[in-house]
């Protein structure tokens, strides 16, 4: 097993760390998810779409890790790779200390129930021909064969967990509103008694008021059931409410991992800063200036050489075009992938902008 | 990093108190659809003015009737299945009484619209170049003639010149290549820019943006918002900005109208709405917005949007309202002017006798 340097370092400091951050539930070591892009005449793939490229990440027990980035940066693919729903090209995925990266479908079966996923569109992820009892019962049956009487009881308990009423159990998905449907999806994910849940843009399709309800529900469930979350979203502003730590992804790579509480005020990577500046804040008094990020998201089949963000970055220098930056630690479990991480941080450039200084 | 200011200096903001000149006046717009299980009263007495050169945000939850309002202005629904009442005054005409043919002259020419998903509102069978030249031929025949006379060139070349100018205006470059592409070959941001260029070809007085940036990334959204704001100020075009994102309303719009279950519950200048929201629904909505930099639990409005086939009697918000009184369940609240330009439909602010007695 080969771990990057920052990872080894974090292992050495482990004893001093608090209990909660002690054991990673999910450990990703240099994972790659590549999809074939072009083949030559003999059928050999000569160009790949590198949706996830060299990602190493720890997700600790009981924490909720946010994963944020623009569309097409590979964040959903990373979530699906961890659950082994997308093909893993190389690298290692450790789930509770067990290597699951090389397992086949049969071997994965016993882990499937412990890792669940909640999708963006609740309407599309619930079978319209099944009642809520059947939807939940199907998931309950995965764990163990149980009696019909018992599973009605357990299904009602699940509905209670997500604040739905028992009489809802014989209804069909279309009879519910979007927020309620998302609650049912969460109940279904909880049915197998999982340790780890991936929320793939789970609140993006919902209204703000409903989104607030779902985020509060998720937080409550996490404490109650000691769950670990990976919360994938394109919306930076909900990260602080929903997550403990946030990983920022750009063009298949994670560029920054930072505590959610400090991410918005002290972003360390120019991309995080740009992403932050583009969020319209719901306060006209703030005179928040919408920052405009030049250029477009690179194609994952041919990402820019060197640092992937350099064509759009305002701090780029020669080295950025030649060498992909390594990882600089910014905290116990936090790091940033930038050549000038320290300098930019010392100058405080990322807080103000260059012209202002 | 070069930051572009979206917020214009204060003196550039339209001053309503001097000469409010509504370019669009909507009064008591009531729309109902016939459904198999009954008549759904989607809009009930929607009234607002859209002033020249301003950006008005129409915000509300899904199903509050924002899009229906916009679409019924231009009568984009099949008439058989619905009933529309009220007045939509534009340019001295009532749009609701116009025939389809007369309305067609208004659509696109004077009032144009951009939609949520840019790629699906562009015809996938024709290249972007073919589509824009068709519209240029339709809307700008004088300009084509002028260029032909000046440069002594063919019609095709004149159209190309105009297309280049119009597409450059919305920030698109490499026009020659772009014009040979199809809708699926361009990114969402580019497609939305192209749509905006098409919508603004005929120099409309009103642009309706129906969730125009909701499908885009925040970084692309920032580009589009800036573009819309700049173009609106430059050409004095009024924009009706339909959105569910209160952040956009706060940063881009001059005034905000909050909709709930087919009624406008509060209208006012953006700053006032965000600083001193009056209606309980507006307050609840604002508390639910995640604020970057704050980590406390999000508040939310309990309950959900009512079924519009059987809407609640009286104020439609009363089953979810924390300040509900007996009058709220019986009577519909009138629109009350609390301050200049700031109006609210709520009995909390009514100075009627019945309310005083409680």
- Residues A151-164 have pLDDT tens digits of 888 899 999 999 89
Contacts of A18 (CB under 8 A, 6+ apart): none
B307 close contact with A: CB closer than 8 A: no
How many CB atoms neighbour CB B160 within 10 A? 20
Please compute Rg for chain A using Cα positions.
21
Taking only the tens place, the pLDDT of each residue in B277-301 is 999 999 998 888 887 666 667 788 8
Taking only the tens place, the pLDDT of each residue in B110-130 is 999 998 888 888 999 999 999
Nearest to A215 among B189, B250, B298 (CB): B298
pLDDT over 90 percentage in chain B? 40
Q: How far is CA B65 from the centre of its chain?
A: 12
- Inspect the interface and report whether the beta carbons of A353 and B290 lie closer than 8 Å: no
Angle between helices B280-288 and A208-225 (to 10 degrees): 50
- Coil, helix or strand for A221? helix
Contacts of A270 in chain B (CB under 8 A): 1
- Residue from B94, B84, B112 nearest B26 by CA: B94
Query: What pLDDT score was predicted for residue A4?
Result: 42
Tokens of B5: 């200011």
A2 CA: distance to closest CA in chain B (Å): 36
Q: In this structure, are residues A188 and A135 in contact, taking their beta carbons and an 8 Å threshold?
A: yes
How many CB atoms neighbour CB A184 within 10 A? 23
- Coil, helix or strand for B50? strand
Instruction: Summarize the confidence of residues A285-311 as an average pLDDT.
Output: 81
A28 CA: distance to closest CA in chain B (Å): 27
- Residue from A285, A290, A237, A289 nearest B274 by CA: A285
Chain B contact probe: residue of A168, A236, A290 with most B CBs at under 10 A: A290
A166 CA: distance to closest CA in chain B (Å): 17
B173 close contact with A: CB closer than 8 A: no
Residue B187 pLDDT > 80, yes or no? yes
Query: What pLDDT score was predicted for residue A254?
Result: 94
pLDDT over 70 percentage in chain B? 91
Residue A288 pLDDT > 70, yes or no? no
Query: What pLDDT score was predicted for residue A120?
Result: 87
Residue A308 pLDDT > 50, yes or no? yes
The CA distance from A230 to A243, in Å, is: 9
Nearest to A241 among B246, B271, B298 (CB): B298
Give the neighbor-by-neighbor strand order of the sheet with A64-68. A115-118, A196-200, A228-233, A64-68, A245-250, A253-259, A335-336, A328-329
B189 close contact with A: CB closer than 8 A: yes
A165 close contact with B: CB closer than 8 A: no
Residue A275 pLDDT > 90, yes or no? no
- Coil, helix or strand for A297? coil
pLDDT over 90 percentage in chain A? 38
- Inspect the interface and report whether the beta carbons of B286 and A264 lie closer than 8 Å: no
Kindly give the pairing relationship between strand B206-210 and strand B238-243.
parallel
Query: What pLDDT score was predicted for residue B2?
Result: 38
A191 CA: distance to closest CA in chain B (Å): 25
Taking only the tens place, the pLDDT of each residue in B233-272 is 888 899 999 998 898 999 899 999 999 999 999 999 999 9
The CA distance from A93 to A27, in Å, is: 6
Give the predicted TM-score (pTM) of the model: 0.81
- Inspect the interface and report whether the beta carbons of A178 and B291 lie closer than 8 Å: no
A16 close contact with B: CB closer than 8 A: no
Query: What pLDDT score was predicted for residue A287?
Result: 59
A297 pLDDT tier (thresholds 50, 70, 90):
confident
Query: What pLDDT score was predicted for residue A118?
Result: 93
Nearest to B297 among A216, A265, A285 (CB): A216
Residue A265 pLDDT > 80, yes or no? no
B146 close contact with A: CB closer than 8 A: no
The CA distance from A161 to A183, in Å, is: 9
B308 CA: distance to closest CA in chain A (Å): 14
pLDDT over 70 percentage in chain A? 88
- Inspect the interface and report whether the beta carbons of B1 and A291 lie closer than 8 Å: yes
B299 close contact with A: CB closer than 8 A: yes
Distance, first Cα to last Cα, chain B? 58
- Inspect the interface and report whether the beta carbons of A264 and B289 lie closer than 8 Å: no
DSSP state of B18: T
Taking only the tens place, the pLDDT of each residue in A61-72 is 999 999 999 888
Contacts of A264 in chain B (CB under 8 A): 292-293
Contacts of A293 in chain B (CB under 8 A): 219, 222
Query: What pLDDT score was predicted for residue A94?
Result: 93
Query: Got the DSSP string for A66-98?
Result: EEE--TTSSHHHHHHHHTT-S---EEEEEETTE
Q: In this structure, are residues B259 and B265 in contact, taking their beta carbons and an 8 Å threshold?
A: yes
Average pLDDT over all residues of chain B: 85
The CA distance from B64 to B57, in Å, is: 14
B37 CA: distance to closest CA in chain A (Å): 14
The CA distance from B281 to B298, in Å, is: 15
Query: What pLDDT score was predicted for residue B112?
Result: 92
Residue B100 pLDDT > 60, yes or no? yes
Query: What pLDDT score was predicted for residue A140?
Result: 87
How far apart, in Å, are the Cα atoms of A342 and each of A39, A329, A337, A349?
42, 10, 11, 11
For residue A342, list its beta bridge partners. none
Higher-pLDDT residue of B187 and A346 is B187
Neighbour-count burial of B335, counting CB atoms closer than 10 A to its CB (0-12 exposed, 13-18 middle, 19+ buried): middle
Give the CA dihedral B55, B56, B57, B63, nearest 10 degrees.
-130
Instruction: Summarize the confidence of residues A2-16 as an average pLDDT.
Output: 41
A347 pLDDT tier (thresholds 50, 70, 90):
low
A284 close contact with B: CB closer than 8 A: yes
How many CB atoms neighbour CB B91 within 10 A? 12
Q: In this structure, are residues A67 and B214 in contact, taking their beta carbons and an 8 Å threshold?
A: no
Contacts of B245 in chain A (CB under 8 A): 208, 280
Instruction: Summarize the confidence of residues A203-216 as an average pLDDT.
Output: 87
Contacts of A177 in chain B (CB under 8 A): 304-305
A9 pLDDT tier (thresholds 50, 70, 90):
very low
B165 close contact with A: CB closer than 8 A: no
Backbone angles phi, psi at A57, to 5 degrees: -160, 145
Average pLDDT over all residues of chain A: 84
Query: What pLDDT score was predicted for residue A296?
Result: 80
- Inspect the interface and report whether the beta carbons of A208 and B244 lie closer than 8 Å: yes
- Residue from A307, A337, A327, A308 nearest A319 by CA: A307
The CA distance from A299 to A49, in Å, is: 8
Q: What ipTM, to 2 d.p.? A: 0.76
> Residue by residue, what is the 3-state secondary structure of B319-357?
HHCCCCCHHHHCCCCCCEEEECCEEECCHHHCCCHHHHH
Residue A7 pLDDT > 60, yes or no? no
Neighbour-count burial of B337, counting CB atoms closer than 10 A to its CB (0-12 exposed, 13-18 middle, 19+ buried): exposed
Window from A116-130, A214-228, B132-146, B281-295 with minimum mean pLDDT: B281-295
Backbone angles phi, psi at A122, to 5 degrees: -65, -30
Taking only the tens place, the pLDDT of each residue in B58-95 is 998 888 889 899 988 888 887 777 888 899 999 888 99
Contacts of A20 (CB under 8 A, 6+ apart): A60, A61, A62, A63
Nearest to B292 among A216, A236, A291 (CB): A236
Residue B11 pLDDT > 60, yes or no? no
Residue A146 pLDDT > 90, yes or no? no
Query: What pLDDT score was predicted for residue A20?
Result: 53
Residue A145 pLDDT > 80, yes or no? no
Backbone angles phi, psi at B294, to 5 degrees: -120, 140
The CA distance from B167 to B165, in Å, is: 6
Taking only the tens place, the pLDDT of each residue in A80-118 is 999 999 999 999 999 998 999 888 888 898 888 899 999
A289 pLDDT tier (thresholds 50, 70, 90):
low
């Amino acid at each position: 097993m080969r771990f990057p340097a920052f990872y080894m370092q974090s292992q050495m400091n482990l004893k001093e760390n608090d209990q909660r951050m002690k054991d990673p539930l999910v450990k990703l070591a240099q994972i790659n998810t590549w999809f074939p892009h072009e083949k030559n005449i003999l059928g050999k793939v000569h160009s790949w779409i590198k949706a996830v490229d060299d990602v190493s990440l720890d997700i600790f027990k009981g924490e909720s890790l946010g994963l944020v980035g623009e569309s097409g940066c590979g964040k959903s693919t990373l979530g699906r790779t961890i659950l082994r729903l997308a093909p893993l090209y190389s690298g290692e995925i450790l789930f509770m200390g067990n290597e699951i990266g090389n397992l086949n479908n049969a071997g994965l079966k016993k882990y499937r129930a412990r890792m669940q996923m909640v999708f963006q569109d609740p309407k599309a992820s619930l079978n319209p021909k099944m009642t809520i009892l059947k939807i939940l019962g199907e998931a309950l049956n995965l764990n163990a064969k149980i009696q019909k009487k018992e599973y009605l009881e357990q299904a009602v308990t699940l509905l209670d967990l997500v604040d739905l009423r028992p009489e809802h159990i014989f209804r069909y998905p279309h009879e519910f509103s979007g927020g309620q449907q998302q609650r049912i999806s969460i109940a279904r994910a909880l049915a197998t008694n999982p340790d780890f849940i991936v929320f793939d843009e789970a609140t993006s399709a919902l209204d703000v008021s409903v989104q607030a309800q779902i985020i509060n529900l998720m937080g409550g469930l996490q404490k109650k059931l000691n769950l670990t979350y990976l919360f994938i979203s394109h919306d930076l502003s909900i990260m602080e409410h929903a997550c403990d730590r946030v990983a920022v992804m750009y063009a298949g790579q994670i560029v920054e991992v930072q505590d959610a509480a400090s991410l918005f005020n002290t972003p360390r990577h120019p991309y995080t800063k740009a992403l932050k500046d583009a969020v319209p804040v719901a306060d006209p008094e703030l005179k928040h200036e919408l920052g405009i990020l030049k250029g477009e998201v690179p194609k994952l089949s041919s990402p820019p050489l060197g640092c992937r963000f350099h064509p759009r970055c305002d701090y780029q220098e020669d080295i950025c075009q030649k060498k992909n930056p390594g990882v600089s630690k910014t905290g116990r479990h936090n790091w940033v992938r930038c050549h000038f991480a320290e300098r930019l941080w010392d100058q405080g450039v990322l807080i103000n902008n260059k012209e202002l200084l | 990093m070069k930051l572009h200011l979206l917020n214009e200096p204060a003196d550039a903001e339209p001053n309503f108190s001097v000469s409010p000149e509504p370019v669009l006046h909507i009064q008591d717009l009531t729309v109902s659809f016939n459904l198999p299980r009954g008549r759904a009263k989607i809009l009930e007495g929607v009234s607002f003015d859209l002033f020249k050169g301003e950006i008005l945000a129409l915000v509300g939850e899904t199903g509050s009737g924002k899009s229906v309002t916009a679409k019924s202005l231009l009568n984009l629904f099949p008439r058989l299945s619905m009933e529309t009442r009220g007045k939509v005054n534009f340019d001295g005409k009532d749009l609701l009484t116009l025939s389809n043919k007369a309305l067609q002259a208004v659509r696109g020419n004077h009032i144009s619209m951009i939609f949520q998903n840019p790629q699906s509102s562009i015809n996938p069978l024709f290249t972007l170049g073919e589509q824009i030249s068709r519209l240029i031929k339709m809307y700008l025949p004088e300009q084509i003639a002028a260029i032909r006379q000046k440069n002594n060139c063919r019609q095709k070349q004149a159209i190309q010149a105009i297309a280049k100018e119009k597409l450059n205006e919305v920030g698109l470059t490499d026009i020659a290549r772009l014009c040979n592409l199809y809708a699926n070959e361009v990114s969402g941001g580019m497609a939305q820019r192209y749509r905006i260029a098409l919508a603004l070809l005929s120099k409309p007085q009103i642009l309706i943006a129906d969730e125009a940036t909701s499908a885009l990334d925040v970084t692309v959204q920032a580009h589009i918002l800036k573009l819309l704001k700049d173009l609106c100020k430059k050409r004095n075009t009024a924009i009706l900005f339909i959105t569910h994102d209160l952040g956009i309303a706060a940063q881009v719009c001059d005034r905000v109208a909050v909709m709930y279950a087919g009624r406008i519950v509060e209208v006012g200048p953006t700053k006032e709405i965000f600083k001193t929201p009056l209606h309980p629904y507006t307050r609840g909505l604002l508390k639910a917005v995640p604020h970057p930099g704050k980590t406390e639990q999000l508040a939310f409005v309990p309950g959900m949007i009512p079924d519009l086939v059987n809407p609640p009697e009286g104020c439609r918000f009363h089953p979810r309202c924390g300040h509900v009184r007996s009058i709220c369940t019986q009577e519909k609240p009138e629109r009350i002017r609390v301050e200049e330009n700031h109006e609210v439909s709520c009995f909390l602010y009514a100075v009627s006798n019945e309310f005083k007695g409680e």
